[in-house]
Amino acid sequence: MDDARPEVLEDEHSGTAGAPIFEPPAPPPPTSPAPGRGRNPLVIALVAAIVGGLIGGGLVAAFGPNHKGTSTTVSFDRNSSRVAKPQDIQGILAKVEPGVVSVRTQGFQQGAFFPVSGAGTGMILTGDGEVLTNAHVVKGATSISVTLFHETQARPADVISADSAADVALVKIRNASNLPTVKLGDSDKLRVGDDVVAIGNALALPGGVTVTSGIVSALGRSIDDPSEQLSNLVQTDAAINPGNSGGPLVNADGEVIGMNTAVIQGTPSGDAIAQNIGFAIAANTFKQTLAQLRKGGPAAASAFMGVSTATLTSDIKDRYGLSVDKGAIVTEVVPGSPAENGGLAPGDVITKFGGKDIASAEDVLGIVRDHKPGDKVPISWQRGDRQMTGTITLGSRPVVQG
């Protein structure tokens, strides 16, 4: 990783600085992993729409090496979230679409003297008008309006609280009552290959939301840098575009199992090398942040560890010849972070943290969120054939209100 600080791009849709750019870590090697330089980075753009076709800031990340394995005949259990016919998708829409809103914002671009319009998506959580969306959708907005399903007149709304580190915001529609709502599902039940449907205000196209379908392509993806703390992301090939930010990714039962947030577009030079690689914040992740936002947001800076992890799967274990069956594999360590100071390196598998056994990347994130800056947290990890222990003194991540 280069020593230079991340470059900040301008986020045209909200008139504020966009997400930072950072170089991805090297893929974790089979044995004795150590920090190193990654492959050519991919640009992950936050998918809030910019009226007029402009796309704002991005993140740079890469998630593991290409894998070529031998052909094996296996049997599979029945798909736990199957969408077999067009009628099934129409049934899903009947449940979910009334609780999805289009979000429009007005704000000022940093250094400019004119307002900038933006667009995104939101999900109604309560009958009195609580709406969940991405923090980057409403960041820097001086006014917010939402348009409900089958309504043409936009309604004014206000931000209750937002946490830009988790990219989650809670908005309230003014003077609302008896509104239709979405149902939040259990994202821990997702499996790779499950069918999903994405609904959102793609490109702010007139006439209502856009619906796309696909599958769960991967689970446990992570983005972690000084301004973002996105872990346990759901990767999908359902097409998501600028404007889909804050919109639902739903299963066959019409339950929201993710919030569409980011999409890989290509390299910083503009090469279009990525197709159908989108990311959604898992429902069980944003539920934790939602509880804080309903109280007005975090009262103080949140704890910061400076590590990106992915849930250890049997495929990852076999690919790298790991000696443990469960845990969270480290994919990146931020230089100078508490994680690096505590001895962690890419390729390590965290097996115990804060006195609790670790079975997923979400376990690690949840424990960090449960602590305060300055807390000393015991940790155990596997490095090759060695079981290692230490203590992480958590740092402080500034809370950025959206």
Catalytic residue ranges: 136, 167, 245
Q: Which of 253, 356, 364 is nearest to 303 (CA)?
A: 364
d(CA 281, CA 347) in angstroms, rounded, equals: 24
Write out the DSSP string of 221-255: EEEESSS-EEEEEEEE-S---TT-TT-EEE-TTSE
User: How far is C-alpha 68 from the geometric centre of its chain's CA atoms?
Assistant: 27
**Amino acid identity, position 232:** N
DSSP state at residue 50: E
Q: Would you say 402 and 135 are in contact if contact means Cβ atoms under 8 Å apart?
A: yes
Q: Which residues of 97-125 are buried (b: 16+ CB within 10 A; e: fewer)?
A: bbbbbbbbbbbbbeeeeeebbbbbbbbbb
Q: Is 153 exposed, middle or buried (0-12, 13-18, 19+ CB in 10 A)?
A: exposed
Label the pairing between strands 58-61 and 42-46. antiparallel
